[in-house]
Amino acid sequence: MNSATAWSKKVPFAVDVAGVIEIMGTSLYSQPMAAVRELIQNAHDAIQRRRDVDLTFSGRIDIALDKDAGTLTFHDDGVGLDAQEAEKYLGTLGVGMTGGIRREEGESTGTGQSLIGMFGVGLFSAFMLAERVRVETRRFDGAQGVCWDAGAGSDITLSSCERERAGTSVTLFLRPAFKELAGEPESIEKAVKYYADHLPIPIHLGGGSARINMVHSNWLSPSVDTDVLSQEIENDFHERPLEIIPVRSSSGAKVSGVLYVTPERTPAFSGAPLVTVTVRRMVISRRIDGLMPVWAPFLRGVLELPLCGPTSSREDLVRNAAFDAAQKVVEEEVFKFLEGLAETDIGRLTRMVVWHRYTLAGASLTNPRLRRLLSKCYPFDTSHGPMPFVKVQELSPADALVESDFDAVIWFNSDRRQEQASAKLFAGRTTPCVQATRSFEEPMLLMMTAEAGPQVQARAVNLNSKGFLESILGIREVESVPESWAEFLKLENVSIHAASYDAGVPAVAFLDERRDLKQTVEELFKTGQVPMGFQKMMEEHLDSRKIGNNQVLLNRKHKLVARALGRKTSHPLASVLRLLVYQSLEAAGATLPQQAQRVRAADLEWVSDALSGGE
């Protein structure tokens, strides 16, 4: 038995300040240069707040380097702080005036709208680079300056100081490991340009008269001149955009910026920056997961998401309702742009679609809206030249003599090896044969067909496809070849038939290798995203017979075939016929099995012996 008496007491959370500052300084941010960003943000907020009380005030930020002293100083001429404010806001982790103002004034109106700070921790990022931080400041309406001095883990010293100008100077006494930064204006400039290029407040370096951040960023300005934007994109991203998509949504999610379509061929694999996301014009990240539509990895650009919340490290966005809303707006804007282009300039849209065809075709399988768009502009190769689905449908009215259930029958071939042969069969007709031979094209075509309505059907160019013999080959009846011939011509996975038709060839072969399609389709079914009618059509298409059986159709109208079939299989003509069957399969792209190759060698020998009369 346990004889100890039970007890309980309340204990406060304890915070080891030195430990927290250490964490802030070493582990919150992945880049030490994030300190530059945080200090610029604070200066920006101070200037914004001064602008709110003095509408004529413009403000500027100056960064000074002192190589000998090993310091970096961030000057601003913003509101400044008095002694009480300095004590309260600078030295309290988690408390800042900015967050308070934003909460009071609301996120989307008044001063709150333009401020960046929110967590009350940013200043401590300075300890990543510095062992000591000194803030000298004077309120714009105050009489005396105040100095706030802190070393990591030590107490803060607050004192009065001489300061003529209103505003704030934050000096970092650099850690030994970062001392050299004080002599490297290029590194500082690079960090400023990375994080603050779109910030409207001018930032100067080392007393220089020209600002180092962009004077005016058209990316985010409301008036859009695509030529200017194109030029800016080329300067910034070093590539020429295929299309420029201005994004301006003031309703709800408030997303603005510019996206463009990259000319890069395999955009999903490139390590290049993708979409730069800014919140209140400070760069958060160039790769925010889940923001851009998955079907458009070819988009690049800059987006300002003023209502999204950065994580406290400011390297990512919090996934919240604002994020979801922004993501929806972005997708909607991109769709609207492309759908608009489908109306106004289909040629331009088609060129872009062709450039990124694999990405788009693949993505369309799970995205009905994208599929609808592509049905108008994705050019399938056909026996009659490239054309989009809607055009194919127009040119494929059903053969009224044979079809009673369908208004349109779309013929397609999905085997690259059969492209030529199938194109030949369609050459003299107005109906095209779609060559759905590239990745994703076959399921995409079938889904588009299913969505075109129950009176439209897609059929493979194949002996088993309903209506193919009648409508395309003009054959009324197909027979199986006699038993002895079936045995003689026997080949693994090949069925042999005979019919009379006008093609002028002894035999036509059709390959049927749909294992790939079957697999893709089964995966699609699992996603549950297939259109109505698609499943039924696929079942018919895939299960109508054993997958993988190739077919040969002997032409009884051909003299040689007619003669051969009229004799015994021991006659040399039978061997000639067998050679022709093999040849038709090879012409269609099949690879003959070893066994058949041996048979062929024997046949050739036999024919040659027979011809030479046993000399």
Ligand X SMILES: Nc1ncnc2c1ncn2[C@@H]1O[C@H](COP(=O)(O)OP(=O)(O)OP(=O)(O)O)[C@@H](O)[C@H]1O
Q: Which is nearer to ligand X, 38 or 264 (CB)?
A: 38
Using alpha carbons, list the distances in angstroms from residue 457 to 65, 423, 438, 445, 473: 73, 19, 20, 10, 19
Binds 90, which of Mg ion, ligand X, none (CB < 5 to 8 A, cut-off by type)? Answer: ligand X
Please give the span between the terminal C-alpha atoms of the chain, in angstroms, as a whole number: 113
By CB under 5 A, is residue 99 in contact with Mg ion? no
118 binds, among Mg ion, ligand X, none (CB under 5 to 8 A by kind): ligand X
Question: Between vectors from CA 202 to CA 200 and to CA 208, what angle results, nearest 5°?
Answer: 160
The amino acid occupying position 374 is: L
Q: How far is CA 468 from the centre of its chain?
A: 39
Q: Out of ligand X, Mg ion, none, which partner does residue 81 contact, by CB within 5 to 8 A per kind?
A: ligand X
> Does residue 174 sit in helix, strand or coil?
strand
Residue 29 contacts ligand X per CB under 6 A: no
246 binds Mg ion (CB under 5 A): no
Query: Beta strand 381-382 with 275-279: parallel, antiparallel or unpaired?
Result: unpaired
Which residue, 70 or 117, is less far from Mg ion as judged by CB?
A: 117
In angstroms, the CA 356 to CA 585 distance is 34
37 to 66, contacts with Mg ion by CB under 5 A? 41-42
CB under 5 A: which stretch of 112-120, 342-350, 365-373, 578-586 binds Mg ion? 112-120
Nearest in space to 34 (alpha carbons), one of 122, 164, 137, 156: 122
Residue nearer to ligand X on the CB measure, 38 or 381: 38
Q: Read off the amino acid at residue 309.
A: G
Q: Report in angstroms how near the CB of residue 88 gets to ligand X at its nearest.
A: 8
43 near ligand X (CB under 6 A)? yes
Residue 122 engages Mg ion in binding (rule: CB under 5 A)? yes
Q: Is 541 exposed, middle or buried (0-12, 13-18, 19+ CB in 10 A)?
A: buried
What residue type is assigned to position 27 of the chain?
S
Of positions 21, 97, 129, 305, contacts ligand X by CB under 6 A: 97
- Indicate the residue whose CB is closest to Mg ion: 122
Query: Which helix (H) or strand (E) element contains residue 564?
Result: helix 559-565
Rounded to whole angstroms, the Cα distance separating 90 from 93 reads: 8
Tokens encoding 463: 């002996």
Q: How far is the CB of 314 from ligand X (least distance, A)?
A: 7
Q: Pick the closer one to ligand X by CB: 123 or 245.
A: 123
Tell which positions 460-489 bind ligand X, by CB under 6 A.
none
CA pair distance 599, 584, nearest whole angstrom: 16
Measured from the CB atom, is 107 or 332 closer to Mg ion?
A: 107
Site residues for ligand X, window 58-77 (CB under 6 A)? 76
Note whether 431 binds Mg ion by CB under 5 A: no
User: Of 25, 59, 70, 120, which lies in the binding site for ligand X, with binding defined by CB under 6 A?
Assistant: 120
What is the distance between the alpha carbons of residues 176 and 344, in angstroms, rounded to a whole number?
61
Question: How many CA atoms within 13 Å lie on the side-chain side of 272?
Answer: 17
Q: Considering CB distances under 5 to 8 angstroms, the limit depending on partner class, which of Mg ion, ligand X, none binds residue 76?
A: ligand X
Size of the site for ligand X (CB under 6 A): 24
Identity of the residue, 283 or 342, whose beta carbon is nearer to ligand X in the bound complex: 283
Tell me: does residue 117 bind Mg ion (CB under 5 A).
Answer: yes
Of the candidate residues 25, 112, 122, 267, the single one contacting ligand X (CB under 6 A): 122
One-letter amino acid for residue 328 of the chain: K
Query: Which span sits near Mg ion by CB under 5 A: 121-129, 227-235, 348-356, 548-556?
Result: 121-129
Q: Are 263 and 304 in contact (CB under 8 A)?
A: no
Q: Quick one: tokens of 380?
A: 């399938």
Q: Which amino acid makes up residue 614?
A: G
Of residues 12-41, those binding Mg ion (CB under 5 A): 41
Question: Does residue 99 interact with ligand X by CB under 6 A?
Answer: yes
- Give the gyration radius of the chain's Cα atoms: 37
Q: Which residues in this chain contact ligand X in the complex, by CB under 6 A?
A: 38, 41-43, 46, 76, 78-81, 89-90, 96-99, 117-123, 168
Q: Which residues in this chain contact Mg ion in the complex, by CB under 5 A?
A: 41-42, 117, 122
